[in-house]
């Protein structure tokens, strides 16, 4: 069985790559990566320390921050609350920020379908206590973690039966106990990440990409970015099945890595400023000598 190493124990690898890169692109998932997982997604709060680190990173030259989540774009933006970030909602079907504005062309027609599915579901699962239907405009999340264990399969069968009547993609996340109903579009966090990198390519030259996430949907990004990014799965099990290069135990360790990155890059830009200052003062000296 392949063991996945903890990035904090191999931080020197990242440190070296950071030193060699001109630019850093951070692609980060939200729930379970930046924000600790909570029973109800509506109660998720990102720790203040993580927000401060992200905000400090976002304002630095040569750093691009991307937060990519299954949440609706507006919800994600207000929950993260960090300026100067590219946000990707609904697994990257909607991307906005830093001069980028993208909405998948096939998305609009699905909005009415989502409303209809939500309506049908709320009627057909009326007698199933504990199911929470979250309408995310272009997708639906049906949370079943509060459903009685014995009725779980019955609930999933009922949701799947309704979803089956519509043109959509269904995805069950056993980790977060969510049944997701997505638009029938061949798009995921992997394709969205590549799209963003391509949009940024005009600006980035020798860039280091670091991608972190905790769920199956993040595996799409890890696979798409194989060989062109450092990828990190947030999971405490060294035996976790993932195609990521490294792992981190939890959101606290993610925050620690972000803090260390901030320390490395802000030290470097201070050094760069000093070099510029030294260079300009030696120019001045030369000029004075020549006069
Ligand atoms: Mg997540």
Task: Name the helix (H) or strand (E) containing 115.
Answer: helix 108-124
Is the pLDDT reported for residue 272 higher than 60?
no
CA angle in degrees (0–180, nearest 5) for 47-53-55: 100
Give pLDDT tens digits for 185-212. Answer: 999 999 999 999 999 885 556 789 999 9
Give pLDDT tens digits for 214-225. Answer: 998 999 999 999
Tell how far the Cα of 10 is from the centroid of ligand 1, in angstroms: 23
Q: How far apart are CA 230 and CA 234, in angstroms?
A: 13
pLDDT for the residue numbered 175: 76
Is the pLDDT reported for residue 279 higher than 70?
no
What percentage of the chain carries pLDDT values higher than 90? 75
Q: Which of 15, 22, 29, 249 does the annotation list as catalytic?
A: 29
Phi-psi region at 96: left, alpha or beta (left = phi > 0; alpha = psi -120 to 50): beta
One DSSP character per residue, 149-164 reads: GGGHHHHHHHHHHHHT
Which residues have CB less than 5 Å away from ligand 1 (the ion)? 29, 31-32, 214-215
Name the residue among 75, 73, 100, 87 with its Cα closest to residue 28: 87
CA angle in degrees (0–180, nearest 5) for 63-253-50: 50
Give pLDDT tens digits for 12-59. Answer: 999 999 999 989 999 999 999 999 998 888 899 999 999 999 999 999
Q: pLDDT-based confidence at 85, cuts 50/70/90? A: very high
Tell how far the Cα of 193 is from the centroid of ligand 1, in angstroms: 15
Q: How far apart are CA 143 and CA 291, in angstroms?
A: 76
Residue 265, Cβ density class (10 Å: 0-12 exposed, 13-18 middle, ≥19 buried): buried
Is the pLDDT reported for residue 285 higher than 70?
no
Output the pTM of the full model: 0.88
Our answer to whether residue 29 is catalytic in this structure is yes
Give pLDDT tens digits for 132-179. Answer: 999 999 999 999 988 988 899 999 999 999 999 999 999 998 877 899
Within 13 Å, how many C-alpha atoms sit on residue 160's CB side? 9
Domains of the chain, earliest start first: 7-104+187-275 (3.40.50.1000), 108-182 (3.30.70.1020)
pLDDT for the residue numbered 173: 85
Q: How far apart are CA 209 and CA 112, in angstroms?
A: 36
pLDDT for the residue numbered 113: 94
């Amino acid at each position: 069985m392949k063991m996945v190493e903890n990035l904090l124990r191999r931080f020197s690898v990242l440190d070296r790559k950071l030193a060699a890169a001109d630019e850093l692109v951070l692609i980060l998932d939200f729930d379970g990566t930046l924000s600790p997982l909570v029973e109800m997604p509506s109660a998720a709060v990102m720790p203040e320390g993580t927000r401060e680190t992200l905000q400090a990173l976002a304002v630095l030259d040569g750093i691009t921050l991307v937060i990519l989540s299954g949440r609706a774009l507006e919800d994600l933006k207000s929950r993260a609350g960090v300026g100067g970030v590219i946000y990707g909602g609904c697994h990257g079907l909607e991307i906005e920020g830093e001069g980028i504005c993208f909405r998948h062309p096939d998305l609009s027609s699905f909005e009415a379908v989502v409303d209809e599915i939500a309506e049908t579901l709320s009627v057909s699962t009326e007698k199933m206590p504990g199911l929470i239907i979250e309408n995310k405009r272009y997708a639906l999340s049906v949370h079943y973690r509060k459903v009685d264990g014995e009725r779980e399969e019955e609930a999933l069968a009922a949701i799947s039966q309704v979803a089956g009547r519509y043109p959509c993609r269904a995805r069950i996340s056993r980790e977060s106990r969510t049944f997701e109903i997505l638009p029938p579009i061949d798009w995921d966090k992997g394709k969205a990440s590549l799209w963003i990198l391509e949009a940024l390519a005009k600006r980035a030259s020798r860039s280091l990409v670091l991608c972190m996430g905790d769920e199956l949907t993040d595996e799409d990004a890890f696979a798409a970015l194989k060989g062109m990014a450092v990828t990190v799965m947030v999971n405490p099990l060294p035996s976790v099945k993932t195609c990521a290069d490294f792992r981190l135990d939890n959101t606290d360790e993610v925050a620690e890595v972000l803090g260390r990155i901030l320390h490395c890059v802000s030290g470097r830009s201070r050094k760069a400023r000093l070099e510029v200052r030294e260079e300009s003062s030696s120019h001045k000296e030369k000029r004075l000598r020549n006069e």
